[in-house]
Amino acid sequence: MTLEFTTTQATERVTDEQLAKIHEAPGFGRVFTDHMVSIDWTLEDGWKDARVEPYGPLAIDPAHAVLHYGQEIFEGLKAYRHEDGSVWLFRPEENGKRLQRSAVRMALPELPVEDFVEACKQLVRADEHWTPSGHEQSLYIRPFTFGNEVFLGVRAAHSARFMVIASPVGAYFADGVKPVRIWLSEHFNRAGKGGTGSAKTGGNYASSLAPTQEAFANGCSQVLFLSSLGDRHIEELGGMNLVLVKGDGTLVTPESDTILDGITRNSLFELAEHLGHRTEMRPVTIDEWQEGVESGEIVEAFACGTAAVITPISEIVSPDGSFGWPDQEPGEVTMKLRKALTDIQGGRAEDPFGWMVQVTEAKA
Ligand SMILES: *Cc1c(COP(=O)(O)O)cnc(C)c1O
């Protein structure tokens, strides 16, 4: 049985004038819409009390499990406004399924996928006018679940809450897509075998912050993590998957159970195959990448994820030196795939895969 949602309207709402200002320069994840979704869970009763309510602070008990043992998982997806005024989600069921996989690993309750998708739709509808219509703008949706039992014992919490909040976001690259330099972390790893690398959980991000500071200090904007086994296999960035492009158009992405299973990466691979590219998901070493750049076999590389879609990579930087394409414009395949995917998401191209899910009707 699917959950029934109740709605409590926010009394304080953004005015049209304020919203127009926000949409002029939304930034990323700083301003939140008027409402939020909450669904409570207890071991005894399961999921209950699904509701849309005014956005606002939570009362946190200092003994809540999440504050001490980090029992938390999250998702990220976007709502897009199409030219006719209708609003659509991109593959929300995939996010719902992944939240379930993360829940299993972090001993949190699994929300049924239908309820996950309905929760996202309810929030987008409640705050309908918050989805911007500008170029590459969208409404970023952040579902998450955390253990909120008041108990310091170390075991899975017997109560939890699922929530959805949303924030309008602008084009990630405001002045055109620019390739970024990536720091190769030699001392830190992101995930270990049997660890939580394939779960979308806050702890993975917490542990990536110190290496990211190291990246910033070295003039880079992101970190590339290698496998913790010392085999020099490349994994991913702190929050984005990695794809290499060969001269013959073949796309290569690392395969390992320590990597987050990215929906953007999987969609790009399906799209690339549809466009006639070969794709390979297999272990790749940093040496294969470097030698491939030097021999001319590997001609482009990019990072991908929901927030920025595709970010071209110009250089890999480490204490021992750097390699890449420091002076190159974004690669041809990189930009072609970026356009193909963002055109489907923005409703400017056919959606042969049935990825888009409509949330609101076209405006007359
Ligand atoms: C969310 C995330 C990604 C990208 O996943 P998408 O589904 O494409 O947004 C990649 N790596 C990590 C570590 C992530 O948390």
Q: For 32-87, how does the pLDDT look when each residue is reduced to its tens digit (9 = 90+)? A: 999 999 999 999 999 999 999 999 999 999 999 999 999 999 999 999 999 999 99
CB atoms within 10 A of CB 354: 7
CB neighbour list of residue 329: distance below 8 Å, 6 or more residues apart: 179
Atom of ligand 1 nearest to the CA of 264: 8
Assign residue 219 a region (left: φ > 0; alpha: ψ between -120 and 50; beta: otherwise). left
CA of 238 to the centre of ligand 1 (A): 9
Query: What DSSP designation does 3 have?
Result: P
The closest residue, in CA terms, to atom 12 on ligand 1 is 239
CA separation, residue 279 to residues 13, 27, 324 (Å): 47, 34, 21
Atom of ligand 1 nearest to the CA of 267: 8
The closest residue, in CA terms, to atom 14 on ligand 1 is 239
Going by C-alpha positions, the residue among 340, 346, 349, 348 that lies closest to residue 276 is 340
CA separation, residue 280 to residues 75, 193, 254 (Å): 26, 22, 8
CA of 44 to the centre of ligand 1 (A): 33
Which residue carries 């699904």 as its tokens?
A: 50
Q: What tens digit of pLDDT does each residue of 250-304 get?
A: 999 999 999 999 999 999 999 999 999 999 999 999 999 999 999 999 999 999 9
CB neighbour list of residue 39: distance below 8 Å, 6 or more residues apart: 3, 47, 48, 49, 50, 51, 111, 115, 119, 161, 162, 163
CA of 313 to the centre of ligand 1 (A): 17
Per-residue pLDDT, 268: 98
Per-residue pLDDT, 186: 86
Atom of ligand 1 nearest to the CA of 75: 1
Residue 33 amino acid letter: T
The closest residue, in CA terms, to atom 10 on ligand 1 is 240
Per-residue pLDDT, 288: 97
For the cut 80, the answer to whether the pLDDT of residue 175 exceeds it is no
Per-residue pLDDT, 173: 76
For the cut 80, the answer to whether the pLDDT of residue 1 exceeds it is no
Which of the residue ranges 22-26, 89-93, 99-103 would you say has the lowest mean pLDDT?
22-26
CA of 306 to the centre of ligand 1 (A): 7
Residue 17 amino acid letter: E
Per-residue pLDDT, 98: 98
- Give the largest Cα separation in the chain, rounded: 63
CB neighbour list of residue 94: distance below 8 Å, 6 or more residues apart: 263, 266
Which residue from 260, 304, 337, 338 has its CB within 8 A of the most atoms of ligand 1, so it is best to mutate? 260
Going by C-alpha positions, the residue among 98, 123, 82, 100 that lies closest to residue 358 is 82
What is the rounded average pLDDT for all residues in the chain?
Answer: 96
Per-residue pLDDT, 323: 97
Atom of ligand 1 nearest to the CA of 94: 7
CB burial of 90-106 (b: ≥16 within 10 Å; e: otherwise) equals bbbebbbbbbbebbeeb
Which residue from 75, 208, 222, 240 has its CB within 8 A of the most atoms of ligand 1, so it is best to mutate? 240
The torsion of the CA quartet 271, 289, 177, 308, rounded to 10 degrees, works out to 60
Residue 193 near residue 229 (C-beta atoms within 8 A)? yes
- Share above pLDDT 90 across residues of the chain, in percent, rounded to a whole number: 93
CA separation, residue 6 to residues 47, 123, 126, 234 (Å): 14, 12, 11, 46
For the cut 90, the answer to whether the pLDDT of residue 210 exceeds it is yes
Residue ranges lining ligand 1, Cβ < 6 Å: 76, 200, 204, 236, 239-241, 260, 262-265, 305-306
Structure-block tokens of residue 13: 């709402």
Which residue from 306, 338, 342, 345 has its CB within 8 A of the most atoms of ligand 1, so it is best to mutate? 306
Atom of ligand 1 nearest to the CA of 238: 13
The closest residue, in CA terms, to atom 1 on ligand 1 is 239
Which residue from 200, 256, 338 has its CB within 8 A of the most atoms of ligand 1, so it is best to mutate? 200
pTM: 0.97
Per-residue pLDDT, 122: 98
